[in-house]
Amino acid sequence: MKKKTPPKIILGSTSSIRKAILKNAGLGFVVRKPRVDEKALRNATTIKNAQEMSAFLAQKKALSIKADPRDLIIGSDQILEFENDQYAKAQTLEEAKKRLRIFSGKHHFLVGTTVLAKNGKIIWCHQARSRMIVRKLSEKNIDTYIERVGEGILASVGCYEVEGLGITLFKNIEGDFFSVLGLPLLPLLKALREQGASPI
């Protein structure tokens, strides 16, 4: 009997950490950049809730990618919520410095949504809300951190990379580590297994 070919996995994100997470889990996949203008989508919607906004953007990203009907497309989005305000990625290191200054000694949330799309439809959705408790940071702490990590932190919505030096900024983190990084790996692997796309 001919063995059924597993569906192709498409990561609808250019995030280096998401690529590394999937690669380390032994998944074969291709990367395609979502064909969306995220800023325009944010401005065009009346959604204010961070969870709803995250889900909206993740779905739009996944559905923007053209693929064969059997392909599985991973779409993901993460929003930082601080004192009822939503934050997108900082554009400059000076903006990142200001952001870390206001986060100092306080907590904020990373709200993430990951979806699977197939044949033009969302077939799976997972959300996570992680509480990030930042330790009290001095100006020297912030300056030294930014000098050492450079513009790489602008790829992170919180201006930190917890998989690296950014972990030193925190007093505590309440939530799944992979979700904090931007991809809820264990729930995603379960969903991929159910679709016949897991390597094991």
Cβ neighbour number for residue 156 with a 10 Å cutoff:
24
pLDDT tens sequence across 68-87: 999 999 999 999 999 989 98
Q: Which two tokens stand for residue 128?
A: 């996570």
**What are the residues whose beta carbons fall under 8 Å from the beta carbon of 84, sequence distance 6 or more?**
none
pLDDT tens sequence across 31-65: 999 999 988 998 888 888 999 999 999 999 999 99
From start to end of the chain, where are the E strands? 9-11, 30-31, 72-82, 85-87, 107-118, 121-134, 170-174
Q: Is the pLDDT of residue 2 over 60?
A: no
What pLDDT is stored for residue 186 in this prediction?
97
Would you list the domain boundaries of the chain?
A: 9-194
What pLDDT is stored for residue 134 in this prediction?
98
Among 8-17, 71-80, 87-96, whose mean pLDDT is lowest?
87-96
What pLDDT is stored for residue 38 in this prediction?
87
CATH of 9-194, one of 3.90.950.10, 2.60.40.10, 3.30.365.10, 3.40.920.10: 3.90.950.10
Q: How far apart are CA 110 and CA 102, in angstroms?
A: 16
**What are the residues whose beta carbons fall under 8 Å from the beta carbon of 158, sequence distance 6 or more?**
80, 87, 99, 103, 108, 110, 132, 166
Task: State the pLDDT confidence band at 156, using cuts at 50, 70 and 90.
Answer: confident
| Sign of the four-CA dihedral 76, 56, 34, 190 | positive
- Residue 85: active-site member: no
Tell me which of 77, 85, 143, 176 is the catalytic residue.
77
pLDDT tens sequence across 171-184: 999 999 999 999 99
Four-point Cα dihedral 97, 182, 148, 135, nearest 10: 60
pLDDT tens sequence across 101-155: 999 999 999 999 999 999 999 999 999 999 999 999 999 999 999 999 999 889 8
Task: State the pLDDT confidence band at 94, using cuts at 50, 70 and 90.
Answer: very high
**What are the residues whose beta carbons fall under 8 Å from the beta carbon of 41, sequence distance 6 or more?**
56, 57, 60
Task: State the pLDDT confidence band at 3, using cuts at 50, 70 and 90.
Answer: low
Q: Is the pLDDT of residue 200 over 80?
A: no
Tell me what the mean pLDDT of segment 2-17 comes to. Answer: 87
**Which of the pair, 5 or 131, is modelled with greater confidence?**
131
